[in-house]
């Protein structure tokens, strides 16, 4: 059962920041500390959705940041559902979806909000992400194409034409030190209008951990909405965060990837994404079978896990084909 969020104040804040937390106690506290040091103009609320962390995150947040609106889930609802939960609880005109492994620089969120307020044709703005050592993280992307469904991951991405397709999709030619419109920024920090996010249905919860941000950006682009990358708005990003501790992350990544291609590119996208996984699994299993150091029991387990993954990905492909975008009218965005 979730804790009831603290009641909102008498005046709705200008910005709602939703932070998703799962077993990232110290990172989450650092994230909230950075937000506390950022004097955001116009009022701001911070909502933390804790996905049943077992590391004392909720208690530490209550003690250190009593002003934060805390929602504690009884189970790990994963990324998409928990973000949607936080967005529905939010009161602000603007919504920032922020990973717990980030630390915003003073003024960064204000820059993002001010840009969107001044440019109504843009639906989303995202900052430049930097590693703790100060280096720029090159994570702006072009939206995946049908070619990437087959060649964009695993074994096929490491040889031509996969390597060229991956270079194009990952925007190897993009200068992350200058402002520009992009197709898809990294989902570690994104700001958009709360009512627009909710009108679109939020993140697709079938894409529970991965590709939900890709899907949102794709939907916005389909509706003629633009996304801005602001290099001058900076956020430090401890790459990995809670996803690194999820033992199911590889399986979920393949499942969510295939479901997205099925949703957005139909039967062709689904078949190509499944073919990409089939090649990857065949490569892994051939290496396993040829490894004389592996025991027979170990090899059987590897083959069993591959079979389970294959079946779950095929089921995800069917789910992806069944999902459809949420209707939305742009008239409110004049």
More reliable by pLDDT, 324 or 212: 212
Angstrom distance (rounded) from CA 64 to CA 66: 6
Give yes or no for a contact between 332 and 194, defined as CB atoms under 8 angstroms apart.
no
202 domain residue, yes or no: yes
More reliable by pLDDT, 279 or 115: 115
Confidence class for position 4, pLDDT limits 50, 70, 90:
very low
More reliable by pLDDT, 42 or 151: 151
Point out the least confidently predicted range of 37-46, 88-97, 199-208, 318-327: 318-327
Q: For residue 155, what are the CA distances in angstroms to 164, 211, 275, 307?
A: 14, 20, 11, 18
293 domain residue, yes or no: yes
Residues 170-220 pLDDT 10s:
888 888 999 999 999 999 999 999 999 999 999 999 999 999 999 999 999
pLDDT at 42 over 90: no
* Mean pLDDT for the stretch of residues 163-169: 89
pLDDT in the model for residue 243: 57
227 domain residue, yes or no: yes
Angstrom distance (rounded) from CA 96 to CA 86: 10
Structure tokens at 187: 């989902």
Residue at which a domain ends, from 201, 217, 244? 244
Same domain, 63 and 202: yes
Give yes or no for a contact between 135 and 238, defined as CB atoms under 8 angstroms apart.
no
Angstrom distance (rounded) from CA 107 to CA 94: 15
pLDDT in the model for residue 331: 35
pLDDT at 149 over 60: yes
Same domain, 121 and 259: no
Residue at which a domain ends, from 244, 268, 295? 244
Q: At what angle do helices 212-222 and 78-89 cross, to 10 degrees?
A: 60
> DSSP 3-state assignment of 270?
helix
Counting the structural domains of the chain, the total is 2
Q: Which CATH number covers residue 202?
A: 3.90.550.10
Angstrom distance (rounded) from CA 55 to CA 331: 45
* Mean pLDDT for the stretch of residues 276-282: 89
Point out the least confidently predicted range of 48-62, 252-266, 304-318: 304-318
Angstrom distance (rounded) from CA 100 to CA 102: 6
121 domain residue, yes or no: yes
Structure tokens at 323: 């999902």
Residue at which a domain ends, from 193, 225, 244? 244
pLDDT in the model for residue 241: 61
Angstrom distance (rounded) from CA 308 to CA 302: 10
Same domain, 28 and 41: yes
- Structural domain including 309 reads 247-322
Same domain, 230 and 196: yes
Whether the full predicted model's pTM is greater than 0.75, yes or no, is: yes
Half-sphere exposure of 77 (CA within 13 A, CB side): 21
6 domain residue, yes or no: no
* Mean pLDDT for the stretch of residues 26-43: 95
Average pLDDT over the chain reads 88
Residue 180 parent element (H or E): strand 180-181
262 domain residue, yes or no: yes
Same domain, 252 and 104: no
Phi, psi angles (nearest 5°) of residue 44: -150, 145
* Mean pLDDT for the stretch of residues 5-34: 86
Same domain, 240 and 255: no
pLDDT in the model for residue 327: 46
188 domain residue, yes or no: yes
269 domain residue, yes or no: yes
Same domain, 218 and 181: yes
């Amino acid at each position: 059962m979730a804790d009831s969020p603290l009641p909102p104040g008498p005046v709705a804040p200008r910005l709602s920041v939703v932070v998703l937390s799962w077993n990232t106690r110290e990172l989450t506290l650092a994230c909230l500390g950075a937000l506390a040091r950022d004097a955001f103009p116009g009022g701001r609320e911070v909502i933390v959705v804790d996905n049943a962390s077992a590391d004392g995150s909720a208690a530490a947040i209550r003690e250190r940041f009593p002003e934060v609106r805390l929602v504690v889930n009884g189970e790990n609802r994963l990324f998409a559902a928990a973000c949607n939960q936080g967005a529905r609880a939010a009161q602000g005109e603007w919504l920032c979806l922020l990973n717990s492994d980030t630390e915003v620089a003073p003024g960064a969120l204000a820059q993002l909000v001010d840009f969107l307020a001044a440019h109504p044709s843009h639906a989303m703005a995202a900052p430049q992400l930097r590693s703790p050592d100060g280096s720029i993280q090159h994570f702006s992307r072009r939206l995946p194409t049908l070619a990437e469904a087959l060649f964009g991951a695993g074994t096929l991405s490491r040889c031509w034409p996969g390597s060229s397709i991956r270079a194009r999709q990952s925007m190897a030619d993009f200068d992350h030190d200058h402002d520009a419109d992009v197709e898809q920024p990294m989902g570690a920090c994104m700001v958009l209008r709360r009512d627009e996010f909710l009108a679109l249905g939020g993140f697709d919860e079938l894409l529970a951990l991965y590709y939900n941000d890709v899907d949102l950006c794709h939907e916005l682009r389909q509706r003629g909405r633009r996304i801005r990358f602001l290099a001058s708005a900076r956020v430090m990003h401890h790459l990995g965060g809670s996803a690194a501790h999820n033992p199911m992350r590889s399986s979920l990544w393949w499942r969510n990837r295939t479901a997205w291609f099925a949703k957005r590119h139909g039967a062709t996208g689904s078949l190509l994404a499944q073919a990409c996984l089939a090649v990857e699994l065949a490569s892994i299993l051939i290496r396993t079978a040829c490894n004389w150091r592996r025991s027979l029991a170990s090899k059987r387990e590897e083959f069993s896990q591959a079979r389970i993954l294959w079946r779950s990905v095929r089921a995800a492909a069917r789910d992806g084909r069944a999902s459809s975008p949420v209707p939305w009218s742009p008239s409110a965005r004049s």
